[in-house]
């Protein structure tokens, strides 16, 4: 609900939160309150501390009014506020002092959609659009705020219009700014690198400015576009949390600034570093949407809101309630050593253990026998795939399997026909030797001809109607970023123009092929964000297929993403990324709650473990529908133990996963208290038929299997012996 008082106090309020701001005396939009739902939000008093101090500046002649201490909705720079601004632009006079004052507002039922950028879906929601104006330079900013009836989510964006007669240069244009009141906060954020994505880090908000950002062209595994600002003493179940993410896949920045009076400013948007946008008279610039989740119930409450919102309002509707097919992926099974016959043979193996899809990963196209060539030449290698891809797909489908294929459409190898023909179709800085990454360059998606060309190639691949799934990869960060089709003065627009080109391609393709399941991948999780998930139903979060490595990654993912957007497979052992030897069972269990499950094993690995694999695939298929739309809970994470719980959407089944990493002698017994069950219902443990009440499982807990070297007491349940052991329990409501 949006309430506007006569005194121009704006309240966005639902059962989860209230967000209040007002038009202040000088026309500046002042933030008043963000937190748990208020009965009468328009009566709220600013929870920010305001005193007049001697020696401070007086904003434009107004005594005792100083923007540096004023919580604001869209702060600018140059007029008494010295914190990092949401908006910073150079006007035709050459200076950057901007004053944005309230002009008007309007409320729309539902939600605004952004034209060239992905937006969250609407539904039962309303949107307030407040127009601010810098009267001197005729800059208009429309701030959009969407509040949903049924989610603790606020979506914000800004649209900047140049109504003047002179060009403007936009430097910072954040999607949103939230000034939180002075308090002690901690930050939780997710960082990492290839094969160790989404590691969590927490710290007390320091004085100064803490920034997570990307300047790599993609949202990046180094810093995921997500921050949770948690009030001190917050934990999984208690405390106020203000979290933020961005529906954007390029260079992002989320910063938390603790100012001189301990006030905290949270900025979310496109990275202003190495960014500049020329805004001609009459033009406008649209920021991506920032999504904010407020939780008064700690991290678990926060994750639950993110999960349901991403599932309902971000990922493509066509797949968000569909169980995902189990699959065999050829990558860690065969790498580049792949051909038509081998795929058919693997398909038979896949069938023999009950899998439902085969995914032909990298290596199928023209002369692609290693990673040194051929990106851009999206036609089958004639030697190894003489019948072409369509024919192979038909043969696979005749066997009763679905068929998926890998592509990396944003890249080009210098050893390729496409590069010979179009050496100018790459991102490059004039006069510089372009740095290769995995032997490849990045195609210039600022160039509409390039985007159209790639669309045609992919359209050709998909129009045969035999491809059920696409794994869309992107395997390098961008360097020497420049585009020959963009003027010299506008080169700092290239990273954003690239992303707009990418989104236009994804938009066209996914609209034309709504029944193809798209999986997002960028060397694993180098571009796992809400922007990509708006087009693609699932993501390959990491190349780390070792179960212990993967546990951390999934745990990190779970703060933001529902596990029904993740895929996981049983890879080889010893693991190819870290050399660890682990059981098939633990390799399966680490990904047990991910919606998409499969294997990537060689013929002989499949043969040697056929029975166990068949059992696990059967389990995955039996519970494929269960793994969509349910609730995931992090019960315990320590250096040696992970314990997760998952309850299905219909609440009829509950799964408990226990991982014990390093074995040890004489360990204590461990109980775990389950959560969110129905206390008066009975639950049957499927492995032994034992009945428990929900109340008992939640209050008294469940005794976890014992870690021991002897395993000889028949009345005790034991963990499998040795390191990296795990057990998965299923409880059915009776
Ligand atoms: C990186 C991906 O993360 C892998 O799964 C695989 O598809 C390779 N690229 C193929 O080149």
Nearest CA to ligand 1 atom 5: 543
Name the token pair of 287: 């920021």
User: For residue 500, what are the CA distances in angstroms to 333, 375, 536?
Assistant: 35, 21, 16
Q: Confirm if 208 and 220 have CB atoms less than 8 A apart.
A: no
Determine whether the shortest distance from the Cβ of 483 to ligand 1 is under 6 A: no
pLDDT digits (tens, 9 = 90+) for 327-371: 999 999 999 999 999 999 999 999 999 999 999 999 999 999 999
Q: Confirm if 519 and 596 have CB atoms less than 8 A apart.
A: yes
User: Is 473 assigned a catalytic role?
Assistant: yes
Q: CA–CA separation, 258 vs 208, rounded Å?
A: 5
Give the pLDDT score at 6: 86
What is the pLDDT confidence band of residue 7, given thresholds at 50, 70 and 90?
confident
Report helix, strand or coil for 352: helix
CA of 540 to the centre of ligand 1 (A): 9
Give the pLDDT score at 66: 84
Name the token pair of 371: 């990673």
Nearest CA to ligand 1 atom 6: 331
Q: CA–CA separation, 550 vs 553, rounded Å?
A: 5
Structure letter (DSSP) for residue 43: G
The pTM score is 0.97
Q: Confirm if 31 and 178 have CB atoms less than 8 A apart.
A: yes
Q: CA–CA separation, 396 vs 401, rounded Å?
A: 6
User: For residue 301, what are the CA distances in angstroms to 235, 243, 257, 297?
Assistant: 10, 11, 25, 5
What is the pLDDT confidence band of residue 54, given thresholds at 50, 70 and 90?
low
DSSP E strand boundaries for 110-184: 125-134, 139-148, 153-162, 168-180
Report helix, strand or coil for 600: coil
pLDDT digits (tens, 9 = 90+) for 284-331: 999 999 999 999 999 999 999 999 999 999 999 999 899 999 999 999
Question: Is the pLDDT assigned to residue 48 strictly greater than 60?
Answer: no
pLDDT digits (tens, 9 = 90+) for 622-668: 999 999 999 999 999 999 999 999 999 999 999 999 999 999 999 99
Q: Quick count: other Cβ atoms within 10 Å of Cβ 436?
A: 13
333: left (phi over 0), alpha (psi -120 to 50) or beta: alpha
Determine whether the shortest distance from the Cβ of 543 to ligand 1 is under 6 A: yes
Element (H, E) at 727: strand 725-733
User: Is 543 assigned a catalytic role?
Assistant: yes
Give the pLDDT score at 688: 95
Give the pLDDT score at 52: 63
Report the range of poorest mean pLDDT among 95-104, 282-291, 672-681, 710-719.
710-719
Q: How far is CA 8 from the centre of its chain?
A: 36
Residue 488 class from Cβ within 10 Å (0-12 exposed, 13-18 middle, 19+ buried)?
A: exposed
Q: CA–CA separation, 514 vs 508, rounded Å?
A: 10
Mutate to test the pocket of ligand 1, among 338, 368, 540 (most ligand atoms within 8 A of CB): 540
CA of 577 to the centre of ligand 1 (A): 13
Q: What is the average pLDDT across 123-148?
A: 98
633-733 under CATH 2.60.40.1180, yes or no: yes
Q: CA–CA separation, 613 vs 593, rounded Å?
A: 17
Tell me the CATH architecture of domain 2-314: Distorted Sandwich (2.70)
What is the pLDDT confidence band of residue 97, given thresholds at 50, 70 and 90?
very high
Catalytic residue among 361, 362, 543, 626: 543
User: For residue 468, what are the CA distances in angstroms to 450, 516, 593?
Assistant: 25, 5, 23
Catalytic residue among 377, 473, 529, 564: 473
For residue 644, report the phi and psi dihedrals to the nearest 5 degrees.
Answer: -125, 150
Determine whether the shortest distance from the Cβ of 521 to ligand 1 is under 6 A: yes
CA of 408 to the centre of ligand 1 (A): 9
What is the pLDDT confidence band of residue 586, given thresholds at 50, 70 and 90?
very high
pLDDT digits (tens, 9 = 90+) for 162-208: 999 999 999 999 999 999 999 999 999 999 999 999 999 999 999 99
Q: CA–CA separation, 267 vs 262, rounded Å?
A: 16
pLDDT digits (tens, 9 = 90+) for 372-406: 999 999 999 999 999 999 999 999 999 999 999 99
Percent composition of the chain: helix, strand, coil (DSSP 3-state, to 5):
20, 30, 50
- The b/e string for 14-46 (b: 16+ C-beta within 10 A; e otherwise) is bebbbbbbbbbebebbbbbbbbeebeebbebeb
What is the pLDDT confidence band of residue 45, given thresholds at 50, 70 and 90?
confident
Q: Confirm if 162 and 90 have CB atoms less than 8 A apart.
A: no
pLDDT digits (tens, 9 = 90+) for 209-219: 999 999 999 99
CA of 520 to the centre of ligand 1 (A): 11
Q: Quick count: other Cβ atoms within 10 Å of Cβ 336?
A: 15
Report helix, strand or coil for 623: coil
Structure letter (DSSP) for residue 546: S
Query: Kindly report the CA angle at 654 between 327 and 651, in degrees rounded to 5?
Result: 105
Give the pLDDT score at 366: 94
Mutate to test the pocket of ligand 1, among 359, 362, 476, 576 (most ligand atoms within 8 A of CB): 362
Question: Is the pLDDT assigned to residue 49 strictly greater than 70?
Answer: no
CA of 474 to the centre of ligand 1 (A): 8
pLDDT digits (tens, 9 = 90+) for 562-573: 999 999 999 999
Give the pLDDT score at 57: 81
CA of 379 to the centre of ligand 1 (A): 19
Query: Helix (H) and strand (E) counts for the chain?
Result: 13, 38
274: left (phi over 0), alpha (psi -120 to 50) or beta: left
User: For residue 317, what are the CA distances in angstroms to 310, 458, 470?
Assistant: 11, 22, 17
Closest CA to 562 of 532, 536, 594: 594
Which is it for the CA torsion 221, 405, 536, 540, positive or negative?
A: negative
Question: What is the residue-averaged pLDDT of the chain?
Answer: 96
Percent of residues, the chain, with pLDDT higher than 70: 99
Domain boundaries, the chain: 2-314, 327-627, 633-733
Closest CA to 377 of 406, 410, 405, 412: 412
For residue 694, report the phi and psi dihedrals to the nearest 5 degrees.
Answer: -55, -40
Determine whether the shortest distance from the Cβ of 406 to ligand 1 is under 6 A: yes
Determine whether the shortest distance from the Cβ of 361 to ligand 1 is under 6 A: yes
Mutate to test the pocket of ligand 1, among 195, 336, 406, 411 (most ligand atoms within 8 A of CB): 406
Closest CA to 592 of 506, 658, 509, 515: 658
Determine whether the shortest distance from the Cβ of 362 to ligand 1 is under 6 A: yes
Cis, peptide link before residue 92, omega less than 30° from 0: no
Determine whether the shortest distance from the Cβ of 524 to ligand 1 is under 6 A: yes
Tell me the CATH architecture of domain 327-627: Alpha-Beta Barrel (3.20)
CA of 399 to the centre of ligand 1 (A): 26
Q: CA–CA separation, 586 vs 89, rounded Å?
A: 54
For residue 618, report the phi and psi dihedrals to the nearest 5 degrees.
Answer: -60, -45
pLDDT digits (tens, 9 = 90+) for 458-474: 999 999 999 999 999 99
Q: How far is CA 180 from the centre of its chain?
A: 24
Nearest CA to ligand 1 atom 10: 362
Residues forming beta bridges with residue 22, ordered by sequence position: 9, 30
């Amino acid at each position: 609900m949006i309430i506007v008082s006569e005194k121009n106090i704006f309240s966005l309020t639902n059962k989860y939160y209230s967000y209040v701001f007002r038009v202040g005396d000088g026309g500046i939009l002042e933030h008043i309150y963000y937190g748990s739902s208020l009965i009468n939000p328009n009566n709220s008093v600013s929870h920010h501390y305001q005193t007049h101090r001697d020696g401070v500046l007086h904003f434009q002649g107004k005594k005792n009014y100083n923007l540096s201490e004023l919580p604001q909705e869209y702060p600018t720079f140059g007029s008494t506020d010295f914190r990092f601004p949401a908006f910073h632009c150079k006007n035709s006079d050459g200076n950057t002092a901007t004053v944005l004052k309230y002009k008007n507002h309007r409320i729309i039922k539902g939600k605004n959609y952004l034209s060239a950028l992905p937006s969250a879906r609407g539904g039962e929601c309303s949107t307030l659009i407040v127009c601010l104006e810098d009267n001197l330079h005729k800059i208009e900013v429309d701030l959009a705020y969407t509040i949903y009836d049924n989610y603790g989510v606020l979506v914000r964006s800004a649209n900047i219009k140049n109504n003047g007669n002179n060009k403007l240069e936009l430097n910072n244009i954040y999607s949103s700014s939230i000034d939180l009141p002075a308090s002690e906060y901690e930050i939780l954020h997710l960082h990492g690198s290839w094969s160790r994505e989404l590691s969590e880090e927490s710290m007390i908000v320091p004085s100064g400015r803490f920034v997570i950002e990307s300047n790599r062209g993609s949202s990046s595994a180094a810093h995921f576009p997500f921050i949770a600002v948690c009030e001190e003493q917050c934990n999984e179940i208690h405390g106020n949390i203000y979290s933020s993410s961005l529906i954007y896949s390029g260079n992002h920045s989320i910063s938390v600034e603790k100012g001189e009076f301990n006030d905290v400013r949270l900025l979310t948007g496109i990275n202003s570093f190495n960014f500049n946008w020329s805004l001609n008279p009459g033009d406008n610039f649209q920021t991506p949407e920032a999504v904010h989740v407020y939780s008064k119930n700690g991290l678990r409450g926060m994750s639950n809101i993110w999960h349901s919102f991403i599932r309902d309002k971000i990922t493509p509707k066509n797949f968000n309630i569909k169980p995902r097919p189990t699959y065999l992926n050829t990558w860690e099974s065969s790498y580049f050593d792949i051909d038509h016959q081998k795929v058919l043979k693997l398909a038979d193996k896949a069938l023999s253990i009950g899998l439902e899809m085969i995914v032909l990963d990298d290596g199928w196209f023209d002369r692609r026998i290693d990673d040194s060539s051929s990106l851009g030449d999206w036609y089958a290698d004639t030697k190894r795939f003489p019948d072409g891809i369509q024919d192979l797909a038909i043969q696979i489908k005749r066997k009763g399997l679905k068929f998926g294929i890998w592509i990396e459409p944003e890249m080009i190898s210098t050893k390729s026909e496409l590069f010979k023909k179009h050496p100018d179709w790459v991102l490059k800085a004039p006069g510089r030797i372009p740095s290769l990454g995995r032997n490849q360059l990045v195609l210039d998606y600022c160039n509409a001809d390039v985007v159209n060309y790639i669309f045609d190639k992919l359209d050709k691949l998909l129009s045969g109607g035999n491809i059920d799934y696409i794994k869309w990869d992107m395997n390098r960060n961008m360097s020497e970023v420049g585009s020959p089709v963009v003027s010299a003065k506008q080169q700092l627009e290239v990273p954003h123009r690239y992303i707009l080109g990418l989104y236009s391609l994804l938009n066209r393709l996914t609209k034309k092929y709504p029944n193809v399941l798209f999986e997002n991948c960028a060397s694993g999780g180098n571009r796992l964000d809400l922007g990509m998930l708006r087009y693609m139903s699932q993501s390959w979060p990491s190349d780390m297929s070792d179960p212990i490595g993967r546990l951390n990654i999934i745990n990190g993912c779970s703060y933001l993403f529902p596990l029904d957007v993740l895929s996981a497979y049983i890879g080889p052992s010893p693991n190819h990324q870290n050399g660890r030897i682990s059981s098939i069972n633990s390799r399966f269990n680490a990904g047990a709650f991910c919606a998409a499950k499969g294997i990537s094993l060689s013929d002989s690995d499949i043969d040697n473990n056929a029975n166990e694999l068949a059992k696990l695939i059967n389990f995955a298929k039996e519970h494929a529908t269960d793994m969509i739309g349910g609730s995931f809970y992090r019960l315990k994470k320590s250096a040696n133990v992970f314990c997760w719980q998952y309850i299905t959407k219909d609440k009829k089944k509950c799964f408990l996963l226990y991982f014990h990493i390093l074995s040890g002698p004489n360990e204590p017994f461990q109980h775990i208290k389950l959560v969110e069950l129905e206390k008066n219902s009975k639950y049957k443990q499927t492995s032994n038929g034992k009945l428990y009440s929900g109340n008992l499982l939640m209050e008294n807990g469940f005794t976890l299997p014992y870690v021991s070297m002897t395993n000889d007491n028949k009345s005790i349940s034991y963990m499998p012996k040795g390191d990296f052991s795990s057990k998965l329990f299923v409880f059915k409501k009776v």
